[in-house]
Amino acid sequence: MNPRSFFSDRRVVVALATLCCLLWGSAYPAIKTGYALFGIAAGDVASKMVFAGYRFMFAGLLLLALSAAMRRKTFALDRGNLFPTILLGLTQTTLQYIFFYVGLAYTTGVKSSILNAATTFFSVLLAHFIYRNDRLNSNKLAGCLIGFAGVIVVNFSEDLLDFHFTLLGEGFVVIAMFILSATSIYGKRLSQTMDSVVMAGYQLAIGGLVLVVAGHAFGGRLEGFTPESTALLGYMVILSSAAYAIWTVLLKYNRVGLVAVFNLQIPIFGAVLSAIFLGESVLEWKNVAALALVCGGIWMVTRER
């Protein structure tokens, strides 16, 4: 079957995009558990950068190894692709996560989770001005708003009623989400001229390596390796490599607005999986309502096909 026909099939898009969001959602409790196992303090941004750097660097190397084993053109980057791939890694992985981790240190987890959903809006708006076949319409706008309401519901708490806004906190998180949206569109264009899995491998490996170096330069470290903490890091490497590779392929063969709306599922999966694995109550009305709203929003955006 033609890859374009397969990866642009609606059922395939829904299944694979949901799988990616489930994997990324599972990173929420995995990261929290990882901080505890490796002894990383809440305000230790440098060590968090090292932790994230190892995750992405090894995820990228895993993708490159698999690509080489499948005899893809893994090490044949020409001059036209070399610099754009390096730029993608430095922006989508390194720069985005630096802004995100610094912002997270100066705001609450509730606000960060909700602001993460801004990625969908940025992606839809940018695609509207860049691609003629990806214009913003009433269905798409309504679907995004309904889905965003679901993200607010699942994170509703007293923290949500605090409208305090700072540049280093909420501002940096929003900047990180804008960088992610812009670089996703940039990556879509780059994937048209090279293997999308190879591209994802390089951008993760390069971005992750720079995060490790920068984290160590600012005094960060990663200690406390045990069978349990190593297994957790290994899982995060696998989920990152799988999710990024699949997501890159979906963006290559589909409109940005169609794929981006599935990002709204990530906070929902993150909240539910955190409740399950961190011992919190999962059968709450807000979880059910949030899931219904997000699914309704996704349906409104995807039904236009």
Cβ neighbour number for residue 1 with a 10 Å cutoff: 7
Structural domain harbouring 276:
3-302
Which pLDDT tens digit goes with each residue over 225-270?
Answer: 999 999 999 999 999 999 999 999 999 999 888 888 888 888 888 8
CB 150 within 8 A of CB 208: no
CB 211 within 8 A of CB 77: no
Query: Which range is least confidently modeled, 85-94, 158-167, 282-291?
Result: 158-167
Query: How far apart are alpha carbons 93 and 180 in whole angstroms?
Result: 8
Predicted local distance difference test score (pLDDT) of residue 108? 64
For residue 305, pLDDT beyond 70: no
Q: How many CA atoms lie within 13 A of 192 on its CB side?
A: 7
Query: How far apart are alpha carbons 84 and 78 in whole angstroms?
Result: 11
CB 123 within 8 A of CB 260: yes
Predicted local distance difference test score (pLDDT) of residue 247? 93
Predicted local distance difference test score (pLDDT) of residue 206? 95
Query: How far apart are alpha carbons 55 and 238 in whole angstroms?
Result: 9
In percent, how much of the chain has pLDDT > 90?
A: 34
Which pLDDT tens digit goes with each residue over 178-193?
Answer: 998 899 999 888 888 8
Query: How far apart are alpha carbons 305 and 10 in whole angstroms?
Result: 8
Burial class from Cβ neighbours inside 10 Å (0-12, 13-18, 19+) for residue 193 reads exposed
pLDDT class of 163 with cuts at 50, 70, 90? low
- For residues 152-165, give the mean pLDDT: 65
Task: Find tokens 């395939």 and name the residue.
Answer: 12
CB 223 within 8 A of CB 175: no
Predicted local distance difference test score (pLDDT) of residue 282? 59
Candidates 56, 97, 84; CA nearest to 199 is: 84
CB 299 within 8 A of CB 276: no
Query: How far apart are alpha carbons 273 and 241 in whole angstroms?
Result: 20
For residue 48, pLDDT beyond 80: yes
Which pLDDT tens digit goes with each residue over 80-138?
Answer: 788 899 999 999 999 998 998 888 777 766 666 667 777 777 888 888 888 877 777 77
Max Cα separation, the chain? 54
pLDDT class of 32 with cuts at 50, 70, 90? confident
Query: How far apart are alpha carbons 56 and 121 in whole angstroms?
Result: 25
Predicted local distance difference test score (pLDDT) of residue 284? 67
Predicted local distance difference test score (pLDDT) of residue 105? 74
Into how many domains does the chain fold? 1
Q: What kind and span of H or E run contains 37?
A: helix 10-37
- For residues 47-65, give the mean pLDDT: 94
Candidates 240, 270, 230, 216; CA nearest to 34 is: 230
Predicted local distance difference test score (pLDDT) of residue 288? 74
Query: How far apart are alpha carbons 13 and 264 in whole angstroms?
Result: 15
Mean per-residue pLDDT of the chain: 84
Predicted local distance difference test score (pLDDT) of residue 268? 80
Predicted local distance difference test score (pLDDT) of residue 162? 59
Cβ neighbour number for residue 123 with a 10 Å cutoff: 26
Tokens read off for 28: 């929420």
Query: How far apart are alpha carbons 140 and 19 in whole angstroms?
Result: 22
Query: How far apart are alpha carbons 32 and 181 in whole angstroms?
Result: 25
In percent, how much of the chain has pLDDT > 70?
A: 91
